A and B are shown apart, each in its own frame.
Chain A
Amino acid sequence: MLDARAPEESAASEPSAPPEAGSARREAVRGQGRIFEVFRRERKGQPFQHAGSVTAPNERFAEIYAREQYGRRQESVALWLVPRGSVSEIDEFPDEFEMKYRRVDGYSIKARLHEARERAGTLGMAPGAAE
């Protein structure tokens, strides 16, 4: 099936090509307009979450389609529509120095706490001090 694709169709198979590769191409689905990413809020107070996407010739149609596909059954209290090309993605977070001092797993206080309690003579009072 894939082998039979015409060259211009295979362009659409690289929707995540970097923007410099041509964001217009990235957004377009041949013959159907633009791709809009849909974010939905399920209940008040909750964050918007990515739900999927719709293709539409313009924003007005995108709104109609998104409402129909993501809000028809009262499953959302609000929707955000964002043209795919307007989304900037960052997906690399190098951590060469393993800065563990910024994380809870960077600390091991068990031994030190034991020593401190011993010194203060409060070992018996501490929870779980039975050992």
Chain B
Amino acid sequence: MNRRKVRKFKAFWAWQDEKEEAWLRSMSQQGLHLTEPLAPIVYSFLEGEPRDLVYRLDYVQRMSGDERGRYLQLFQDSGWEHLGANGGWQYFRKPVEAGDAPEIFTDPESKVEKYKGLLAYMFILLPFFVMLVSRIGSRPPAYRALDVVIFILFLLYMYAFLRIAHRVRQLRRL
């Protein structure tokens, strides 16, 4: 069979990881399986037999080479295929057995830890944003468009922060 490579463009925000997982699963059910490499917004698929494959995303930033090897080994030991990473997001895949969609996080407490890691990383960007936003209006009029872009990015950043913090609160109530 001639296997075709298919490229799709789709944007998911940081708080939509579960939506992204569901989308990738539905693509596999249609016979389009995600391949490496992964770039933001760009998804590369290989055409094949339709299969029910579950995709799960973890968020891990900054890990030493050895530690990363042991982290990936644990997923491999338990039957997960690592497809690659994209800005800290780790993509894993596993076939569905006996109708149960497998999870990499099996209780709300550990899901909270994943999102707390994401929030902590986003927090690092806060001084950077505060600095950029504080300079809005102080540039020559020709740079007005740049001010608008910075302000929109800042709003998005704040919105992402609130959405993820809300998810943590929801999970804590479980």
Partners in one complex: no
A contact set with B: CB distance below 8 Å: none
